[in-house]
Structure 1
Amino acid sequence: MSGIHTRVDTEPQLAEMLEARKARRSKPPYIPQRDGDVTALLQSFFAKEEPESQVGDVARIGGGASKEQFVFSLAKPGGEKRRYVLRMDALEGITETSREREFEILKAFQGVVPVPEPIWLDADASHFPTPAIIMEFVEGVTKPETEGVSVTGLGTVLGDPLRGMLAPQYFANLAKIHNFDWQAAGLEHFSAPLADPKQPTRWLIQFWKELLEQDAVTKEPLLRLATQWLEDNVPDCDNPCVVHGDYRTGNYLFDEESSEVTAILDWEMSYIGDFHADLGWLLQPVFGSRIDGVFRASDIAPPEEIIARYEEASGNKVDPAKLHYFTVFNAWKSYILVSALGMQAARTAHNHQDVLLTFLAATGPMFVDELARLLMMEESQ
């Protein structure tokens, strides 16, 4: 019947986000925030939150294809001065996420793994122009200073001995994330997909399928085939866990002198689901390195070693069939990120990083090729 809308069969909080983003599509172009305007916004915000404190040293943080980010200092009466990071939504970006969920998951993992502490939240944009989160600034780098000018996380080369020093932390932190007792954590902005064993991944697929349908710039036949395959082959998930959603080299900070991981970043795509999804993501070729014929996922280790060391650290047994499923899913998801969401955000001028988004869209054919290879493997079996 006309006029009746059927809500997407996905996590309720994500379904609300899908509806809200439709209303933003008709808005005028997004104007990036100027440093002076951000300074004024922060000063007026802290005039209420931290009276008599002084905002200073406001500077834009480079990178990021979805949020505007600024670092600033806050000097409180008595001389205490600390640095913080402001993350504000653009109208659209390469992902569709919630600042409430990001704030909540960061709070939940305090003391579990190294993460920035979220301090203030403006979920409904009552003060800032768009939803925003302010968290502590953590010292560290995402790649060696000598590594070059590659986009963070894309083909980063850690090299030895740094690789060997980071690897144990890499596996230990991922194990802690997946073994975290999320049901005891009281995550109010996350729904428990416990109705049946397929619900966690069914919700996931439907969310990304809707994003593809909303934002597809071109009709890619192979994406339709991959979507159908993913829907037809949803695996059981008997023990849902927190999935980081973007766990890879480039999304953690480390101290170059001590090689200690200081913070795991970019939790905005986290959800409750199957741990194989994180493994399938970090194993993607685009995030790895190939040196002297050896491929290392996230430049940490070859895939077989990644799986063995993850199993040892976590106690979770990796199912090859499920890992293959989420390898297909992540190639499909990556295409949606760069060639649908990213391109649409650039096309509508709803993001401050339109040049970067257009650049990333050039990787779309690579993910189509990967999907073709993976689906052909299915046909040959």
Structure 2
Amino acid sequence: MTNDTLLDTGSLRLREIRETDDTQRDSPDASFVERMRERFPTEAEYDRMLTRKAESRADARQAPSTLEELRAALDAFLDVHVEGPHRVDDMRWLSGGASKLQVAFSLEWNDPLEGQTTSQLVLRMEPQESLNATSRIREFEIINALGEHLPVPRAYWVDDAADFFPQPTLIYALAYGVSKPRAVEGRPTGVGSAFDAELRAELGPQFTAHLAKLHALDAESLDLPSFDLPRVGTTDTALWQLNRARRVWEEDRGEELPLWEVAANWLERNAPELDRVSLLHGDYRTGNYLFDEDDRQITTWLDWERGHLGDRHRDLAWATLPTFGTPSEDGKTLLVSGLVPYDEFISEYERLSGLYVDPARLRYYRILNTFQLIASTLGSASRVIRLGRSHQDVLLAWLEGVVYSLGEELRTSILEEN
């Protein structure tokens, strides 16, 4: 057998292996799912969500839910969960968001806390398969835990097992405000929104103060039963987050990416120990809060689906990612989330929280965050689009375009001197 024949045979075998793996990712069997669980141990609730996602992937493609179908499901849900007469009106789709279906409605009912009233509510439901496999029960718990500490919407009910709705669903209060100045052109998911200097001066301090307050809370005293508690002095939280991203990539990817393996090995070798447990938002940036444009106050923090207990540097690194920032008018300074100069953000956060920001851990989580974004955009988004399992195919396709800048950011970050 000639060398050329050997090469041809080897290439054919490699292609067969890749095609088999890709088929497994389109329709994972029990052995594939169990192999992923064993290779990449993570938090129990994330494991449940990722397992549910994999086990459901072989299900037949569902037609998008109509308002009429959701109205019927909502009526059935409320008949069980609301005492006395009640009526739903004004159901309408809400725009925005890269991964969840959201419907606003009004509910006339006897609220146990407020008496007879009309509440403006939002039904927040998973599509058949989301860009991010996250937990509605954890989102419900974290919003309720923070009601006395930060501006968050009141969470009313959760259908975690999808007993009434087509997919797991959270119902919470409709929040008011805007995610960007009305005069500014909108950007998908709020990334890259521009604010003038006057508005930055009002919103920036609130943006920093809210994160400082969140991280300074005694996280272990909060009622968060579905959250795993990492141990101080261990690498639990870093490895849980790393393994979650690695599992997402291995279950969703459609191609090889050598840089990914280099980054995964670096992240595993350099996982930092936890010095203090904080409650994290997980996606803390412009686009995930609303503000009143008249009084310039942040009215609500939304999208707590990635919230977890862990290292504060994870949120800090996320908020300061260049991907989510904008340059100052002179182009010389990165404005964190379009609001605050980087150095000012870090120093003010330390002053308000009383917590030290470690540059080494900040760098680690910046690399891990970029790693996670690549898993979502190049891995999950590609497969969800191809299988036609989301209502946001156009947006998810747009997100794939940021992979190249993320890859370069990942490469240069790893090569930086410690």
| TM bucket normalised to smaller | over 0.9
* In 1: Cα distance, 2:161 partner to 2:131 partner: 20
C-alpha offsets along residues 62-114 of structure 1, whole Å, 9 cap, x if unaligned? 12222111111112379732210100111222211011111001110011001
Asked if residue 359 in structure 1 is aligned to residue 398 in structure 2, the reply is yes
DSSP 3-state at the match of 1:217: coil
Map 1:18-57 onto structure 2 (within 5 A). 18-50=50-82, 51-57=84-90
CA root-mean-square deviation: 1.8
Map 1:162-241 onto structure 2 (within 5 A). 162-194=199-231, 196-241=233-278
**Other-structure match for 2:345:** 306
**Other-structure match for 1:279:** 316
DSSP 3-state at the match of 2:190: coil
Highest Rg: 1 or 2? 2
Map 1:241-320 onto structure 2 (within 5 A). 241-290=278-327, 291-293=329-331, 294-320=333-359
Which of 182, 187, 196 aligns to 1:145? It is: 182
* In 2: Cα distance, 1:319 partner to 1:89 partner: 36
**Other-structure match for 1:104:** 141
Contact 1:99–1:121 under 8 Å retained in 2: yes
C-alpha offsets along residues 106-154 of structure 1, whole Å, 9 cap, x if unaligned? 1100110010111011010111111101001111111111111222421
**Other-structure match for 1:70:** 103
Shift of 1:160: 2.3
Greater relative contact order, per chain length (Cα 8 Å cut-off, separation 6+): 1
C-alpha offsets along residues 224-259 of structure 1, whole Å, 9 cap, x if unaligned? 111111111001112121111000111111111111
Unmatched segments (≥5 aa) in structure 1: none
Letter in 1 for 2:47: A
DSSP 3-state at the match of 2:290: strand
* In 2: Cα distance, 1:101 partner to 1:12 partner: 12
Shift of 1:36: 2.0
Asked if residue 346 in structure 1 is aligned to residue 385 in structure 2, the reply is yes
Q: Which moved more, 1:37-46 or 1:95-104?
A: 37-46
Which of 48, 67, 92 aligns to 1:16? It is: 48
DSSP 3-state at the match of 1:141: coil
C-alpha offsets along residues 276-305 of structure 1, whole Å, 9 cap, x if unaligned? 111111111121112321321101112111
* In 2: Cα distance, 1:25 partner to 1:364 partner: 24
DSSP 3-state at the match of 2:316: helix
Which of 406, 410, 415 aligns to 1:371? It is: 410
Contact 1:30–1:90 under 8 Å retained in 2: no
* In 2: Cα distance, 1:195 partner to 1:287 partner: 29
* In 2: Cα distance, 1:289 partner to 1:193 partner: 33
TM-score if structure 1 supplies the norm length?
0.95
Q: Which moved more, 1:4-13 or 1:129-138?
A: 4-13
Contact 2:232–2:276 under 8 Å retained in 1: no
More helix by share: 2
Q: Which moved more, 1:115-124 or 1:172-181?
A: 172-181
Letter in 2 for 1:54: R
* In 1: Cα distance, 2:186 partner to 2:146 partner: 31
Contact 1:241–1:275 under 8 Å retained in 2: yes
Q: Which moved more, 1:165-174 or 1:189-198?
A: 189-198
Letter in 1 for 2:256: K
* In 1: Cα distance, 2:375 partner to 2:191 partner: 17
* In 2: Cα distance, 1:260 partner to 1:149 partner: 20
**Other-structure match for 2:127:** 90
Letter in 1 for 2:74: L
